[in-house]
Every structure is written in C-alpha cells, then in structure tokens.
Amino acid sequence: MRHTEQNETINFYLQLLSKTIDMDRYPFTKMVIENNITKAEYINLFHLLESLHDQYMSQKKEGFLDFSSLLVKFAGMLNEKLVPTATVYALKKEGYYPS
C-alpha cells in the first residue's frame, strides 16, 4: 500500500503545482498531465515528431507543396489518449516544431 499512497501524494502535488503555473502558456504540458501520459509515451511522441519533421524537411527539399500525408500519419500514430488537432495546436503554442 505504501507505493499507492506515494503515487497519490505525487499526483496531488502535481495538481497543486499545475494550479500555480499559468497553464494557458503550456497547453501541451497540461495535456500530458491531464491525460496521464507516461514517460515512455512522451518519449515515443517526440520520436514520432522527430521522424515526421525529418520527412517534412525531405519533402520540402524535394519541392512538395502538400504535406497532408504527414498530418494523417501523425493522427494515425498518435497516442490514443491525445486528440490530434488539439495536440498540434498545443505543440505549436509551446514552440515545438512550428513549421
């Protein structure tokens, strides 16, 4: 039971901290906390983003004008805990992969 109590305490502290920070400035971080994204899921998301960014840069260099296939791939591979459109806007607002 000690482990469960410790987790509950940590979650409580996170909730308190999230109220003291202007979470409107950090919508992606807020999504991660609210949707209980694990560290592994977080890392996987950024691996996906890096891969898609590399593909975007490659396609852009080749002269592509339509990158909707990358958006579809992102939506299909995104963790089911996150909503694709809201995630894109939250990432952009925090400055991750603005292009």
| Residue 65: inside a domain | yes
37 to 33, 40, 64, 65: CA distances (angstroms)? 7, 8, 33, 33
Number of domains in the chain: 1
The model's pLDDT over 17-69, given as tens digits with 9 standing for 90+, comes to: 777 777 788 899 888 988 889 999 999 999 999 999 999 999 999 999 999 99
| Residue 14: inside a domain | no
CATH assignment at residue 34:
1.10.3750.10
| Residue 16: inside a domain | no
User: In which domain, by residue range, is 68 found?
Assistant: 23-93
| Residue 78: inside a domain | yes
pTM exceeds 0.85: no
| Residue 75: inside a domain | yes
| Residue 67: inside a domain | yes
Q: Tokens 């998301």: give the residue.
A: 45
